[in-house]
A and B are shown apart, each in its own frame.
Chain A
Amino acid sequence: MSRVITLTEREVRSFFLTPVGYIVIALFVVFASLVFNAGFEQGQPASMQKVFRWGMWILLVVCPAITMGLISEERRLGTFELLVTSPVREFEIIAGKFLGAMAFLILMLTPTLFHVALLEIYGRPDYGELACGYLGLLLAGSAYIATGLLASTLTTSQLLAYLATFLGWLAVLLAFVFAPTFLDDPWLTFAFASDPIPRLHDFAIGLIDMSNVIYFVSIAVFFLIVSNRVLEAQRWP
């Protein structure tokens, strides 16, 4: 466990020792603020529902940038060789990288607390609903990050890792958006049930449905397990 913490710590630090971390945070804050601003008017409810509802799309752009270098860059620079010849197990590497990216995601969300402060100043926000929305963003982010981590184990190019994650999820999200135009009922119901966006909307309005939590967590766990397998297979064919 201490090795996982060591790896997590190094990961978080390295985000802030390179420009990538700052660029990603700036990008996220700009998107989040634009969406927030659009709903921040007199007479509107004091909530961040818009930001949370759009979260799936905002994170789609940002999360692959967090994960793109996790393993691919280490492979390209050769530090991966040092990492796997030290006494760490593959799952510790995966866990360390994943937790590092999650910690970064949390740090990335903190500037939006400024929006919360604005709501407090100009209205009476529902803190339960806000906390719920943030939980939704973290869960959706964990699914993206686990997918991005897998992409990063499969290539030495950060750009490829980014594109694979971004385009893969974009295709999935668009397929759900346009599902009603090409699917009929038994299938459409099924598609609606596996669409992440309405699930994130539930969180945005302050609803914690256990099935939604399990939905995002199981996506993350699945991709983490696959990433771990990939690393093991590369090392011990």
Chain B
Amino acid sequence: MIVARSLSRKFGRFLAVDSLDFHIDRGRVVGFLGPNGAGKTTTIRMIAGYLPPTAGTVEVDGLDVVRAGREVHRRIGYLPEAAPLYSEMRVDEFLKFRARLFGIERSKRRRAIDLALRRCSLDEVRTRPIHQLSKGFRQRVGLAAALLHQPPVLILDEPTVGLDPAQIREVRALIRELAGNHTILLSTHILPEVELTCDQIIMMARGRIRAQGTISQLQQTGDKTPRYLLETNSSKPENAIREMKGVADVQSVVMDEHWRRVTVVAAAGTPDLREPLAATVAKMGCSVRELHREAASLEHLFVQMIADAEAHAAESDGGRQAGQKGEEA
């Protein structure tokens, strides 16, 4: 549905987005994840047709965004960063204005507006001026405006920024609800957000894609040495566990007179150890009251990725400076 090929954007001499390649299938919810300044908004603006790329192409539904301009705009519902709205207008006035701009016929306009208001739970504020609304409501008005013309693609730049936890949950629920009928691309710098709402993640830092894939794919790449947590009433479980295949390290902590908490670090590339661990404890005639594999944290991968990107940037900056010094000498 959305295909980018060596998509790049320069601002003056600053390369904000550096040859991105990605492919988003129809009906997916995809998260652009990255620290602030990673190039997420620039990328999103190029897909939405606001900023032309300086190199490369991006296609939406098979149409080149730059060349097909208006045809692409009809297929996209776009919520820019911070949900800009005409604050002097009333909510229903604003939606009517947007509906007319998108060429929704008069006979269908009423229904389209009602549907968008209902989906975004805006009925109670439909006649209020936008400037009187809270941040959460404004965000939802922006979302309702993006949904009006029933676009196959929704692009949401930081849809939950500045909202309180309850509002964030509502927006997430709404995004999940919309997922069936739309291909959704959203950006965020908040990790749990993508874990909770997205099928696919594109991690960006310093203008480049550092990792992409489904959550489980990314977890596998991040999860080279999985850890297991085990609570057992065995008094000396370490030796038996250490002898198991694929176990790299075992540590245990006494919790009380009966129970111990054991942390098992597996060797890289070991298949799931949960069953063998339970079996081992059972063989000793003891019981297990808790056993889980620590979900490879995306956070770990995310932090790692940012650190790598920074290190790389520092290195190339260092190199450049050294080069300049060389030239000066």
Chain A residues in the interface with B (C-beta under 8 A): 2-3, 6-7, 10, 13-14, 17-18, 77-79, 81-89, 235-237
Q: How far is the CA of A237 from the CA of B66 in the complex (A)?
A: 11
Q: Which positions in B face A, CB cutoff 8 Å?
A: 45, 48-50, 52, 66, 70-71, 73-74, 76, 78, 80-82, 84-89, 93, 97-98, 100-103, 145
Q: Of A14, A18, A87, which contacts B74 at CB under 8 A?
A: A87
Structural contact, A86 and B73, CB atoms closer than 8 A: yes
Contact, CB under 8 Å: A17 / B89 = yes
12 A-B pairs within 8 Å (CB atoms) are namely A2-B103, A6-B97, A14-B86, A77-B87, A78-B82, A79-B84, A84-B50, A85-B48, A88-B101, A235-B50, A236-B52, A237-B52
Select one of B50, B52, B82, B89 contacting A85, CB under 8 A: B50
> How many angstroms between the C-alpha atoms of A3 and B74 in the bound complex?
14
Instruction: Tell me the number of A-to-B contacts counted with CB atoms below 8 Å.
Output: 67
Partner of B100, one of A3, A13, A79, A236: A3
Determine if A85 and B73 form an interchain contact, defined as CB atoms under 8 angstroms apart. Answer: yes
| Besides A78-B84, A86-B73, A87-B74, 9 other A-B contacts (C-beta < 8 A) | A2-B100, A6-B101, A7-B101, A17-B88, A79-B85, A81-B80, A85-B76, A86-B102, A235-B52
Known interface pairs A87-B70, A87-B103. Does A82 touch B84 (Cβ–Cβ under 8 Å)? yes
Pick the contact of B49 from A14, A17, A85 — CB < 8 Å?
Answer: A85
The reply to whether B100 and A6 contact each other, CB–CB distance below 8 Å, is: yes
Q: Which among A18, A82, A88 is the interface contact of B78 at CB below 8 angstroms?
A: A82
Contact B97 A18 (CB under 8 A): no
If A85-B48, A85-B49 touch, whether A78 touches B97 (CB-CB below 8 Å) is no
Whether A87 lies near B84 (C-beta < 8 A) is no
Give chain B residues whose Cβ lies under 8 Å from the Cβ of A82: 78, 80, 84-85, 145
B residues less than 8 Å from A81 (CB atoms): 45, 50, 80, 84
Q: How far is the CB of A41 from chain B (nearest CB, A)?
A: 43
Residues of chain A lying within 8 A (CB to CB) of residue B73 = 85-87
Residue of B nearest to A15 (CB): B88
Which of chain A's residues have a CB closer than 8 A to the CB of B98?
A: 86
Q: Which residues of B contact A3 (CB under 8 A)?
A: 100-101, 103
Please name the residue on chain B nearest to A90 by beta carbon. Answer: B69
